[in-house]
Amino acid sequence: MIYSSTRGSDINLKFGDVLLNGLAKDGGLYVPNSLKSYSEEELDSLRELDYSSLAFELTKDFVLGEISVSEYKKICINSYKRSFGKEIISFDKLDQHKYIANLFNGPTYAFKDFALQLLGNIYDYVLKKRKIKLTILGATSGDTGSAAIHGCAKSNNVKIFILFPLNRVSEIQRKQMTTVTKKKRFQYSSERKF
Tens of pLDDT, residue by residue over 91-124, are 999 999 999 999 999 999 999 999 999 999 999 9
Distance between CA 8 and CA 24 in Å, rounded? Answer: 10
First to last CA, the chain: 35
Mind listing the pLDDT tens digit for each residue in 120-177?
A: 999 999 999 999 999 999 989 888 999 999 999 889 999 999 888 888 888 888 888 8
Residues 36-190, CATH architecture? 3-Layer(aba) Sandwich (3.40)
At residue 191, the pLDDT reads 78
74, 81, 86, 112: the catalytic one is 112
| Phi and psi torsions of 24, nearest 5° | -70, 155
pLDDT-derived band at 48 (thresholds 50, 70, 90) equals very high
Asked about 128 being catalytic, the answer comes back as: no
Mind listing the pLDDT tens digit for each residue in 23-45?
A: 999 999 999 999 999 999 999 99
pLDDT-derived band at 194 (thresholds 50, 70, 90) equals low
Q: Residue 81 above 90 pLDDT?
A: no
- The sign one gets for the Cα dihedral 59, 65, 67, 68 is positive
Count the residues in the chain.
194
At residue 172, the pLDDT reads 85
Distance between CA 85 and CA 95 in Å, rounded? Answer: 27
Specify the pTM.
Answer: 0.89
